[in-house]
C-alpha cells in the first residue's frame, strides 16, 4: 500500500499479486487526480469505494485473510476546507533544518540525520533513511502548521508525507497516517513548474501495520507531529 515492507519473504505468485496491487493503486490515484479537477468530494468517494474493494478482495490486501470478507472502512466526513495546494519551501541542506523554529511552539525538534539524509522510525523498531526535501506550511483554520516533505531514496524514489495528530491512538493508528507515498502510487498531484504539491487530509490513510503487524512501516518523525486533531481521512475506530 505504501512505503511499508513485509517482514516475511514472498513467493513468485505473491510478488506478482503485489505488483498488481501497486498497479491498481496507481490507477486509482490517477482517477482521483482527474476527478478532483472538478469535484474533489466525488474523487474522495471513489477513492473510498475502490480502496475498500481492494482491501476486501485482493490477494495483497494488508488485512489478514480472516478479516477481509467483512471489512468496512471507516472515515471522517469529507471536509473541503482541508484540501490545499501548497508551495514547497526548499530544504537544500541540513543547515536549513532550523527553519522548523518558525513552526508553532509545540513543534518538536527535526529528525536526526542518517544515510538517506534523515532516519525515520519504523514500526518494527528499525530505522530507514529518507531525504527531507522541504517544508509545507499548511494554513489550518486554527493557524498554520509546518510539515516536512520527504523523498524516499530507493530504486524508484518518491515523495513521502506522513503525519501524526491528536486523533492518534484513539480514532486513528497510534503511529500516524500517510498523505502521500508516490513511490507506491499514492499521489494527489501538484504543479512541478510552480513548485506546488496537493495536500488533502481527506485522503489520509493508515499504514499497513495498522491492520497487521507483519508489515513494517515508516512512522511520522517529530517534524510532522501536529498537536491539533485532523478529523479527516481514514479512521480505525
DSSP 172: B
The beta-carbon contacts of 105-110 under 8 Å, at least 24 apart in sequence, are 106/227, 107/145, 107/146, 107/222, 107/223, 107/225, 108/222, 108/223, 108/225, 109/222, 110/148, 110/221, 110/222, 110/223
pTM: 0.83
Listed in order, strand segments (DSSP E) in the chain are 5-6, 74-75, 83-87, 89-90, 118-121, 127-140, 143-151, 159-163, 177-181, 190-191, 196-200, 215-216, 234-235
Domains of the chain: total = 1
* Residue 134 φ/ψ region, left for φ over 0, alpha for ψ in the -120 to 50 degree band, beta for the rest: left
- The domain in which residue 230 lies consists of 5-235
- Give 113-145 pLDDT, tens digit per residue: 444 567 776 766 677 778 899 999 999 999 999
Cβ pair 28, 204 in contact under 8 A: no
- Cα 197–chain centre separation: 13
Q: What is the pLDDT of the chain when averaged over all its residues?
A: 85
* 192 SS3 class: coil
CB-based contacts of 199: which residues, under 8 Å, 6+ apart? 83, 84, 85, 86, 136, 138, 147, 161, 179, 180, 188
- Give 81-114 pLDDT, tens digit per residue: 999 999 999 876 443 333 333 333 334 444 454 4
- Give 8-20 pLDDT, tens digit per residue: 567 889 899 989 9
- Give 175-193 pLDDT, tens digit per residue: 899 999 998 899 999 999 9
Amino acid at each position: 500500500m505504501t512505503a511499508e515492507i513485509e517482514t516475511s519473504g514472498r513467493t513468485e505468485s505473491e510478488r506478482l499479486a503485489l505488483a498488481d496491487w501497486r498497479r491498481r493503486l496507481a490507477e486509482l490515484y490517477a482517477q482521483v487526480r482527474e476527478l478532483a479537477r472538478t469535484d474533489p468530494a466525488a474523487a474522495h468517494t471513489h477513492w473510498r469505494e475502490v480502496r475498500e474493494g481492494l482491501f476486501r478482495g485482493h490477494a495483497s490486501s494488508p488485512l489478514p485473510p480472516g478479516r477481509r470478507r467483512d471489512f468496512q472502512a471507516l472515515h471522517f466526513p469529507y471536509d473541503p476546507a482541508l484540501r490545499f495546494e501548497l508551495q514547497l519551501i526548499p530544504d537544500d541542506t541540513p543547515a536549513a533544518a532550523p527553519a522548523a523554529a518558525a513552526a508553532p511552539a509545540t513543534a518538536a525538534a527535526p529528525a536526526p540525520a542518517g544515510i538517506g539524509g534523515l532516519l525515520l522510525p519504523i514500526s518494527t523498531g528499525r530505522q530507514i533513511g529518507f531525504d527531507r526535501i522541504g517544508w509545507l506550511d499548511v494554513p489550518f483554520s486554527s493557524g498554520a502548521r509546518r510539515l516536512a516533505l520527504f523523498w524516499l531514496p530507493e530504486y524508484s524514489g518518491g515523495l513521502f508525507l506522513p503525519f501524526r495528530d491528536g486523533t492518534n491512538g484513539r480514532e486513528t493508528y497510534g503511529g500516524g497516517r500517510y498523505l502521500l507515498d508516490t513511490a507506491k502510487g499514492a499521489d494527489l498531484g501538484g504543479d512541478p513548474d510552480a513548485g506546488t504539491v496537493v495536500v488533502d487530509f481527506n485522503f489520509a490513510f493508515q499504514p499497513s501495520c495498522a491492520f497487521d503487524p507483519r508489515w513494517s512501516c515508516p512512522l511520522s518523525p517529530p517534524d510532522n507531529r501536529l498537536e491539533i486533531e485532523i478529523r479527516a481521512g481514514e479512521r480505525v475506530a
